[in-house]
Every structure is written in C-alpha cells, then in structure tokens.
Structure 1
C-alpha cells in the first residue's frame, strides 16, 4: 500500500477556510437576530459603508457587494486573530479567554471605529446590545478561530515563520 506524502501546511488556506466559516456563522447570526428585516437590507447596509445611500437603492449587485464585504471583513479579522494566536496563548494560556478577547476586540473595532467612520454616525448602543454583540462574536468568530488555531498549534500546523 502506497502512503500519501504529507501535505505541506498552508496558513493562507487555513485562514481563508476559517474566515469563510466565521463569516458564515456571523452572517447567519445577523440574519437570525434581525429576522424581521429582509436579508437584502442587511447586506445593503454593509455595502453602504462603501457605496453610501446608493446601496439601498441598488438591487442584487448591492446585496452581493454586501456579502463580499462581509466575508472580506471576516477573513481580515480571522487573519489577524489567527496569526496573533501563539502570542496570546503564551500570555493568557486559556483558549476560551482568548476567544472572548477576540470577540470583544472585533465588536469594539466594528462598532466604535468602522461603523462610525463608514456610516458617518456613532451608533446608539445599549448595554443589552453590547453584550449580545460580544456574545455573538465570541461564539461565531472568537471560538472558531481560537479553537482551530489552538489545534493547529498543538499539531504543529502553525507554520508562519519564513523559510530560510
């Protein structure tokens, strides 16, 4: 019987796969949380960060743009958190604490930086909304990234150092 050669670990593919996973989980959570709002409106809101109010007047192209931007944001957060995982693991040790830190950081960046800049308004935020948002990002973003990165670290798949 012929053994397969071990696959070369590819951090970029890990990040893309995890980004698609976290983007899907977060998107589904947004749709469920806002079930009274048509899904097209949710993704047009995301597209409006780039296209302004014209996004809400657009059709399917704006929905697609919103979905693309949503996944791009998820992949960017995944990239940063995945690559920072070994550092946080050394400092904090606990994968669930790291996941909570990731979810909280993502919420803070999106709600206190990205949305105010792109929507040109500071959102009114209530304690319940903050806690729900952080909980969603903990479950949909922080946990998957931290758990997968932790497994990759333990399995030696976390190969981010350049080869010499």
Structure 2
C-alpha cells in the first residue's frame, strides 16, 4: 500500500529523472548541441541568472535540485486535480498527453517568460515538437500512470 506522499514523490522523481535523461540523451549524446552541465546550469539560471554559468558543477547541482522540485510540483498538482477531472481517469494515454501539453504550456508560456526577460521566438518546428514529446512521454505519462494506480487501489 502506497501513501499519497510516496505516490507524489515517486511520480515526481521518476518523471524528473526521465525528463532530464531525455534532455541529456537527445541534446548532448545524439545532437551534440550542449553538455549535461550546461543543461543543468541553464535550469539553475532561472534563479541565479548569469551566475549559474560561472560556478560549474555547483550550479549544475542546483539546477538538478530545481529540476526535481519542478517535477515534484507537477506531480503534486496532477495528484490533487485527478479526482476532479473525469477525463483524466478515462484513458492513461490521453491523460498523459493532456498533462504533458499542460506542463509544456505552463513552462513555456508562463514560467519561462516570467523568469527570463528575453527568450527566442517559438516556431512550430522539430525542436518545438521534440520538447512537447519529451514532456508528454517523460512527465505526462509517468505521472498519470502512477497517480491512476494509486487512486484505483484506494
């Protein structure tokens, strides 16, 4: 039997891990666009601004902590809204898709513009589609699956 807290922690840490691993595999290993440290530093720059890029692995660690904090917040939100939205209970793939898109909208249209004064323009292209797919498969689906399993057993 899993508690509410353990369910949220599990779904948050799993989705956070899948998301950061997907980013590293795609942007570092496959596309050779950056490094893992720079990905994590860019996350830390949401709080530490330009200083995040000058403090090496320390800021990468802070970026990883911030990344997991954000994943846990999204896991918590989904867990709390799940009982109130019947569409989330109908189909795990549909709910994962919807929530992954919701996470993308919140992060890219609300959080990032609020944190950073200048962002590149969004174009409907492969990188945009890839970022959406990562959030759907690495955040939306794991969180919806784990949360549904909790509620079905309780």
For normalisation by structure 1, the TM-score amounts to 0.84
Matched with 2:4 is 11
Match of 1:86 among 83, 89, 94: 83
More helix by share: 2
RMSD, aligned α-carbons: 1.4
User: In the aligned structure 2, how far is the partner of 1:114 from the partner of 1:148?
Assistant: 25
Mapping 1:134-145, distance limit 5 Å: 134-145=132-143
Q: CA 1:112–1:123 in 2, change beyond 3 Å: closer, same or farther?
A: farther
Cα distance between partner residues in 2 of 1:66 and 1:29: 16
> After TM superposition, where is structure 1 displaced by more than 4 Å over at least 4 residues in a row?
none
Aligned length: 148
- 1:33 corresponds to which of 10, 26, 29: 26
Deviation of 1:94 (Å): 2.0
> What's the CA shift for 1:74?
0.5
Question: Which of 147, 152, 159 is the aligned partner of 2:150?
Answer: 152
5+ residue gaps, structure 2, are: none
- Tell me how far apart the structure 2 counterparts of residues 40 and 100 of structure 1 sit (CA, whole Å): 29
Q: Which residue, 78, 88, 109 being the options, matches 1:112? A: 109
Quick one: distance in 1 between partners of 2:145 and 2:73? 18
Rounded to whole Å, the distance in 2 between the matches of 1:82 and 1:95 is 14
What secondary structure sits across from 1:52 in the alignment? helix
In structure 1, the residue matched to 2:69 is 72
Q: C-alpha separation between the residues in 2 aligned to 1:40 and 1:10?
A: 34
Gaps of 5+ in 1: 1-6, 157-164
Aligned twin of 1:162: none
Q: TM-score, normalised by structure 2?
A: 0.89
